[in-house]
């Protein structure tokens, strides 16, 4: 079956280290994808507002799987928004605030929120990843549907932090799943509501099967999505765990590897031909 849906992770995959991509090249490719009836999806741990900022010229014409699968949008249409039970979110947040108040980002439908205790030196990094970010007096009083709690690891030892989080009762009893999205962030999400879960809503909406899907990622939060698709790709700069489950390992995010993959899709007349091209991209 021909590829009819391409989903790409953003940081470390579609974007280079400067959080940019070759806009001119991609927009030409996107036009060609549209002509062939191939859907393009940005699938990321980032918030929806950040993702749209990267695609200002076409933001109303692509799909989004934001917040690690929680917020799914087709152009201007909200398709699904998954969130924690409000009581679970409050208990978890109150517990985390006791030890990690300066590192917590509360992610909701209307935006992301940080506490006034957040160090000023951390804010440039946060504004880079959260384009709609509010600083509030008390995170526990935020009136929003919470889809994710992110911890900025900048002020903590990563291994000590992850070990401590793994001992939390709500993680041990599977009320919450912990994933690393890279770049110094740990995400606490609703179990089973990962990127593959979010992408399934768009597959159903567009009547696209897994056999017609190609996905590309680089990190822990891409594993389910890569395993689900017929063409599951890992970047050369991806973590070993993702490379192990990927069908193909392609080039580096600093060398426009995703755009090379798009060219391979656009210039292949069969799955066999595409497979041959993908095998040559690393």
The answer to whether the predicted template modeling score (pTM) of the entire model surpasses 0.85 is yes
Please provide the average confidence, as pLDDT, over all residues in the chain.
Answer: 95
Whether the per-residue pLDDT at 144 is higher than 90: the answer is yes
Q: What percent of the chain has pLDDT over 90?
A: 89
Q: What is the mean pLDDT of residues 199-223?
A: 97
State the pLDDT confidence band at 240, using cuts at 50, 70 and 90.
Answer: very high
60 is known as an active-site residue: no
What pLDDT sits at residue 279? 95
pLDDT digits (tens, 9 = 90+) for 45-96: 999 999 999 999 999 999 999 999 999 999 999 999 999 999 989 999 999 9
Instruction: Tell me the domain boundaries of the chain.
Output: 5-81+193-279, 86-189
Superfamily of structural domain 5-81+193-279: HAD superfamily/HAD-like (3.40.50.1000)
CATH annotation of 86-189: 3.30.1240.10
Terminal Cα distance for the chain, rounded? 24
Q: What is the mean pLDDT of residues 139-168?
A: 93
CA 203 to chain centre: 17
3-state secondary structure of 187: strand
Considering 9, 74, 115, 222, which one is annotated as catalytic? 9
């Amino acid at each position: 079956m021909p590829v009819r849906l391409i989903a790409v992770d953003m940081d470390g995959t579609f974007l280079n280290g400067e959080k940019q991509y070759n806009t001119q090249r991609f927009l030409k490719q996107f036009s060609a994808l549209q002509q062939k009836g191939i859907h393009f999806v940005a699938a990321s741990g980032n918030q929806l507002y950040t993702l749209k900022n990267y695609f200002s010229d076409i933001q109303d014409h692509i799909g989004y799987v934001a917040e690690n699968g929680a917020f799914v949008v087709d152009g201007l249409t909200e398709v699904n928004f998954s969130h924690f039970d409000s009581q679970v979110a409050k208990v978890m947040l109150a517990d985390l605030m006791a030890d990690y108040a300066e590192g917590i980002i509360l992610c909701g439908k209307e935006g992301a929120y940080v506490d006034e205790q957040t160090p000023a030196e951390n804010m440039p990094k946060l504004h880079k990843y959260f384009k709609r970010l509010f600083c509030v007096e008390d995170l526990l009083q935020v009136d929003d549907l919470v889809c994710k709690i992110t911890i900025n690891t900048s002020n903590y030892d990563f291994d000590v932090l992850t070990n401590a989080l793994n001992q939390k009762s709500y993680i041990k009893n599977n009320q919450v799943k912990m994933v690393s999205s890279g770049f110094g962030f740990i995400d606490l999400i609703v179990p089973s509501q990962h990127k593959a879960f979010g992408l399934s809503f768009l597959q159903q909406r567009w009547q696209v099967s897994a056999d017609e899907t190609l996905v590309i990622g680089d990190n822990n939060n891409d594993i389910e999505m890569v395993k689900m698709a017929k063409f599951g790709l890992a970047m050369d700069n991806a973590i070993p765990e993702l490379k192990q489950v990927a069908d193909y390992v392609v080039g580096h995010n600093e060398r426009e590897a995703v755009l090379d993959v798009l060219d391979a899709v656009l210039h292949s007349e069969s799955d066999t031909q595409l497979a041959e091209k993908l095998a040559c991209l690393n």
